[in-house]
Amino acid sequence: MNSINSTYKIRRAERNDLCAISDIYNYEVANGTATFDIHPSTMPELETWFAAHNVDNHPLIVIETEGQVAGYASLSKYRDKEAYAGTVELSVYVGYEFRGRGYAKALVSELIGMAKRDPATHVIVSVITGGNDASVSLHRHFGFTFCGTIHEAGFKFGRYLSIDNYELIVG
């Protein structure tokens, strides 16, 4: 991985970032296996998703470089049951043309720092598609622990895909 070679800024996502977030996410929907969505997200769906973030212990942040949103990351509600309130799920996506520059690492570092400062957050969970070695390496770098595999949990691009679960206790 190359180090970040340009100026960047990490900030809370704003509603006007949704077009860029949509482009980044829907590229992965169409071309990758980091998400198990098989249909592009619509703007109304993204509006609903956006409304669930930057409240409580669910931050949504973007990384901006050269005037563009290059990636985003979030801590989302893990499950609806009240007992899971202190558990959040990490997602991080970087635009295809911005990969390999350390932006995912910068985003995850920022979110972990936010989670550690938030007394409402106890554990961060991450669900990684089997074979996504870059994501596994990123999570291990930050001390995430492997918790188990769910084999053939999803079907995309004509094949079954497994998921690997990781956790990081922060509180």
pLDDT digits (tens, 9 = 90+) for 91-146: 999 999 999 999 999 999 999 999 999 999 999 999 999 999 999 999 999 999 99
Could you tell me which of 109, 147, 110, 107 has the C-alpha nearest to residue 126? 147
The reported pLDDT for the residue numbered 2 is 43
Domains, in order of start, for the chain: 8-169 (3.40.630.30)
CB 54 within 8 A of CB 13: yes
Q: What is the pTM of this model?
A: 0.94
The reported pLDDT for the residue numbered 56 is 87
User: How does the average pLDDT of the chain come out, rounded?
Assistant: 96
